[in-house]
Structure 1
Amino acid sequence: MNTWRKAQELAAQQGIDALLVTPGADLRYLTGYVALPLERLTCLVLPSQGEPTLVVPHLERQAAIASGVDTAIASWQETEDPYELVARLVGDVATVGVDDHMWASRVFALQAAMPTARQVLAGPLVQQLRIRKDDTEIAALRDAGAAIDRVHERVGEWLRPGRTEREVGADIARAIIDEGHETVDFVIVGSGPNGASPHHEVSDRVIETGDPVVVDIGGTMPSGYCSDSTRNYLAGGTAPAAYREAYAVLEAAQRAQLEHARPGVTAESVDAIGRQIIADAGYGELFIHRTGHGIGQETHEEPYIVEGNDLVLEEGMAFSIEPGIYFDGQFGARIEDIVVCTADGLEVLNNTPRGLVAL
């Protein structure tokens, strides 16, 4: 069954008369079309009954056709109002679902073009489909995991004392492409005290001998599926004793989470089991973020592995397990693997060494 047909069925069940989806991961998921996020409107009109239409600017028509979309295509000229075109295609309906990432200007323009239609978020509906990966999607995530593993295996080529984080990050970014990714999504090289900031990225700080370095990297493959993996490196010398002690606790916590996660347990229980180990060792206040996030055509999507999420994990759900411990102003560490729930357990998609890698 076409992915958009599954979304159509859910829309009908939930009383949504039409879904309106603009460029982004949801559009790619439903149609395979990677549309440019232009100021000109591109919008999938997916009625709960009948056939969908992809509305595109006329100058993007050939690109849409070349992408192989299996929907009708309606193009609009520069002097036409695309929102009126969408309204005509939707017709007189009670409820429309708009994608979560639609620009506010477009939401208001569609509201003006369809003043009697109630708008609701379409994201929760589409996420019901995206949260469970099929075999093809899991294979794509497996390829992404292997590609980013190959980059981590090469970090020793670039990471050494005397170089800046920015220089190392630039080399890593080139390798992400060289190892098969279509785009670089992020490169974090957090050396010494910068490792205590989970989303640090890079700076002009010169890496020093004995610095622990957090390297968190990811990209998007030609398939549209993402990679994301964090490993920790020692740039020569000896790591501080306090760091080594905390790192041993972090390894134990992540190992326990990997052993616990599987279909039938809740997302929050995966977080809790590792967080308790870290707290019992005296580092509870230093674990400052959730354990993980789902991954697919976006790096961050459902399910989120966090306290308060009582979602029961199911076969096909893919997510990160990435506990961290952060000493503000000194150093930090995070170990991250992407995993996917199988019929009776867990497949880990990142397989480089999880221990501190001395370079």
Structure 2
Amino acid sequence: MDAGRFDAGVYSRRLAAAAAAATAAGLAGLVITPGYDLRYLIGSRAQTFERFTALVLPARGRPTLVVPRLELAAFTDSVVTELELPVRDWVDADDPYRLVAAVLDGPEIAVTDSMPALHLLPLAGVLGVLPLLATGVLGRLRMVKDASEIDTLRRAGAAIDRVHARVPQFLAPGRTEAEVAADIAETIIAEGHSEVAFIIVGSGPHSADPHHQCSDRRLQRGDLVVVDIGGVCEPGYHSDSTRTYSIGTPDPQVVQHYSVLQRAQRAAVDMVRPGVTAHQVDAAARDVLAQAGLGEYFIHRTGHGIGLSVHEDPYIVAGNDLPLAAGMVFSVEPGIYLPGQWGARIEDIVVVTDEGAISLNHRPHELVVVPA
């Protein structure tokens, strides 16, 4: 496996599956501009510029790359050459949208949701119809991870666990959240990630803000500190795990509420198995908190899918009746947030198996007490 992508056979199978899904949806094909969908299909990290670049995947026939001649080199890290995919390059005097139409057997196509309007509107003009979104076609493929993806996500989970194991040494009264975050960033790379995806260090009242990042606030004795961190492991898959720390002995009420949060997270993980809906997993966590009178303090969904993007389908949220299937990978991360006071969250990434859920994170769920 190349460090930046999987073996070519992985992408060959994905292309075939995407073409079959397009056929089943009654489409003439898919048009995929740079973004996560393109990276999923051919391993390319090319970026979108003002010149049109796309993989044109007909329901029947060979996938074809339409790309500006001056940007051909951007695809040397993909499987285009290895799979011998046809390339139709163009220069500024050409109309790339007509090249797309020439590859397709009909105008009924779907496009990736990251296609800029700059390209969507001219493409629609050539086709004579506004394309559909390919999310419904590619979403199911990307939601169910193959063995190579799960192995990578397992490596990512182990790497972020090693980071959390070192977090207590960074937490001390007087240090700022930003200083802690800087130490964590170095550790994310040192423990096996290729890049930092995000870092949340929320201390004291900031711990009650789920999407707080970090600030110049100094840690104090008695603070709860929510540390939600993630990085990227090659070829491009994310880790994401949250643990909550206490600077010194926590208040007894905090300990009581936190024990409820532990039960809620456990109940949601225990609910995971094929056929159960995303809604039911969310409800399992929410019900435990509601029964303890803490339901109003859980203000976000229970989880999100993860892979090439840190947030992707399936979303574990009320009202999502999508049945889970083996191979889906997502977070389970209920939280409690008392505005202006304190907050706590526990997050693991889990894989759906035929028997239930396997967690990719293995750090203890207990409130971690750091000596003050």
**1:61-100 deviations in whole A, cap 9, x for unaligned?**
1231342323222222344443343333336x23110111
Quote how far apart the aligned CAs of 1:317 are. Answer: 0.9
1:75 matches 2:89: yes
Segments of 5+ residues of structure 1 without an aligned counterpart are none
2:69 to 39, 58, 61: 58
2:48 to 24, 28, 37: 37
Give distance in 2, aligned partners of 1:65 and 1:74.
Answer: 15
> Residues 58 and 180 from structure 1, CA distance in 2 versus in 1: closer, same or farther, beyond 3 angstroms?
farther
Give distance in 1, aligned partners of 2:213 and 2:95.
Answer: 41
Q: Please say if residues 188 and 217 of structure 1, whose CA atoms lie closer than 8 Å, have aligned partners that are also in contact.
A: yes
1:110 matches 2:123: yes
1:272 matches 2:272: no
Please list, as runs of the form range in 1=range in 2, the aligned pairs for 1:64-213 lying within 5 A after superposition.
64-69=75-80, 70=83, 71-90=85-104, 93-114=106-127, 116-213=128-225
Give distance in 2, aligned partners of 1:203 and 1:65.
Answer: 41
Give distance in 1, aligned partners of 2:123 and 2:176.
Answer: 48
**1:242-294 deviations in whole A, cap 9, x for unaligned?**
32221111001111222221122221111111111101111110000111111
Quote how far apart the aligned CAs of 1:57 are. Answer: 2.6
Moved more, 131-140 or 283-292: 131-140
RMSD: 1.6
Q: Please say if residues 314 and 341 of structure 1, whose CA atoms lie closer than 8 Å, have aligned partners that are also in contact.
A: yes
Quote how far apart the aligned CAs of 1:329 are. Answer: 0.5
Moved more, 63-72 or 221-230: 63-72
Give distance in 2, aligned partners of 1:13 and 1:103.
Answer: 26
Quote how far apart the aligned CAs of 1:300 are. Answer: 1.2
Partner of 1:292: 303
Give distance in 2, aligned partners of 1:197 and 1:15.
Answer: 45
> Residues 66 and 320 from structure 1, CA distance in 2 versus in 1: closer, same or farther, beyond 3 angstroms?
closer
Give distance in 2, aligned partners of 1:166 and 1:39.
Answer: 37
Partner of 1:16: 27
Give distance in 2, aligned partners of 1:238 and 1:78.
Answer: 66
Quote how far apart the aligned CAs of 1:53 are. Answer: 1.1
Please list, as runs of the form range in 1=range in 2, the aligned pairs for 1:302-321 lying within 5 A after superposition.
302-321=313-332
Give distance in 2, aligned partners of 1:148 and 1:245.
Answer: 27
Q: Please say if residues 61 and 73 of structure 1, whose CA atoms lie closer than 8 Å, have aligned partners that are also in contact.
A: no
1:325 matches 2:336: yes
Q: Please say if residues 316 and 341 of structure 1, whose CA atoms lie closer than 8 Å, have aligned partners that are also in contact.
A: yes
Partner of 1:256: 267
Moved more, 259-268 or 44-53: 259-268
Quote how far apart the aligned CAs of 1:47 are. Answer: 0.8
Quote how far apart the aligned CAs of 1:340 are. Answer: 0.4
Give distance in 2, aligned partners of 1:165 and 1:159.
Answer: 9
Normalising to structure 1: TM-score of the pair? 0.95
User: How many residue pairs end up in the alignment?
Assistant: 356
Give distance in 2, aligned partners of 1:66 and 1:232.
Answer: 39
Partner of 1:231: 243
Q: Please say if residues 152 and 234 of structure 2, whose CA atoms lie closer than 8 Å, have aligned partners that are also in contact.
A: no
Amino acid at match of 1:195: S
Give distance in 2, aligned partners of 1:118 and 1:109.
Answer: 10
Aligned with 1:351: secondary structure?
A: coil
Aligned with 1:87: secondary structure?
A: helix
Amino acid at match of 1:88: A
Moved more, 173-182 or 307-316: 173-182
**1:118-160 deviations in whole A, cap 9, x for unaligned?**
4101011101111111111111111111111111111123222
Aligned with 2:299: secondary structure?
A: coil
Quote how far apart the aligned CAs of 1:19 are. Answer: 0.5
Quote how far apart the aligned CAs of 1:193 are. Answer: 0.7
Quote how far apart the aligned CAs of 1:229 are. Answer: 0.5
Give distance in 2, aligned partners of 1:291 and 1:228.
Answer: 14
Segments of 5+ residues of structure 2 without an aligned counterpart are 1-11
**1:144-179 deviations in whole A, cap 9, x for unaligned?**
111111111111232221111111112211221222
